[in-house]
Amino acid sequence: MTVTGSYDAHGHAGADNRPAPAGHRRDARRGADARRGADARQGVDTRQGVDTRHDTEDFSRPVRTRWPLAGLAAAVLAPVGSFILGWDPDDVTVREGTDAIYEAAGDHRVDFWVGGSIGFVAVLLLLGFAAGLTRLLERRAPDSLAVPAAKLAFAAALGGLMFSFGLKHVLAGGVPGGIDSSFYTKTDVEVLALVVSQMQYAAWWGVLAAAACVAVVTLRYRVLPLWFGIVSAVLAGVSITATVAIGLPYSAGLLAPVWLLAAGIVTLRLRDREI
């Protein structure tokens, strides 16, 4: 007959409940600690038995941002909306007087309308780019006063461009064939046409003021490539000099899109880094 079961050290039936030797207990604790350490490295909550691996984000991967692309798009669309789809009355038309300007403006009604619409899209893109660029500068040069100055300059640029594109839509509605032509006299259209032809360039001045601020931060703190800081300083300096010394703020309309394009390219190359 075969008897199965547990026996103590003296051969009596029953489980051996004597405590394990101290060495065995230490080995058991070390094994349990090793298992808990492995679970923790894999993201398993050993206290509650919950697997948290799916709740852990991988912060080692670079975060790609899209605001540099907004700057590139604004650099292309804003000039199109400003002066490419704009109109400058020539000297002959101006000398011929109000009637000639009124009729000539009517021939560009579609340009005014499409240009104004494209311009407002560019303003929204510029808003996103300005927010991203100034946040980058603020992170890398938190103590520089040029950073809040750049924010104010971008705000002024956005306001000036919105005003310019708004006037362009008003002009499109007031010229012959426009939806609001009955609301405007020929003199109104003449004045609007001349103001819009100048504002489509001068409204860019705020962007170059922001470029000057970016140049200061870049050259002082090296937050962006040195060559970009030099380009920013040169473009801003030319426009500021032309405005102050000669009274020609219109150079901003030609130089600001160039700077905006360069800024978009520079920040786009930084998109795999912390921006």
Q: Report DSSP letters for 197-253, one per residue.
A: HHHHHHTTHHHHHHHHHHHHHHHHH--S-HHHHHHHHHHHHHHHHIIIII--GGGHH
**Mean pLDDT in order along the chain per 10 residues (275 residues):** 50 51 53 53 47 43 76 94 90 92 94 96 97 96 96 97 95 94 94 92 95 97 96 97 92 94 94 53
Q: With contact defined as beta carbons under 8 Å apart, do 91 and 149 qualify?
A: no
Looking at residue 4, its pLDDT comes to: 52
Looking at residue 44, its pLDDT comes to: 46
Looking at residue 17, its pLDDT comes to: 52
Looking at residue 30, its pLDDT comes to: 57
Looking at residue 34, its pLDDT comes to: 53
Scanning the structure block, which residue is given the tokens 């001045």? 205
Q: Token pair for residue 176?
A: 């012959």
Confidence (pTM): 0.74
- Alpha-carbon distance values, 151 to 47, 93, 130, 223, 255 (Å): 49, 41, 8, 16, 19
Q: Token pair for residue 238?
A: 């030319």
Looking at residue 54, its pLDDT comes to: 43
Looking at residue 57, its pLDDT comes to: 40
211, 216, 221, 224: CA torsion to nearest 10: 20
- How distant is the alpha carbon of residue 264 from its chain centre? 9
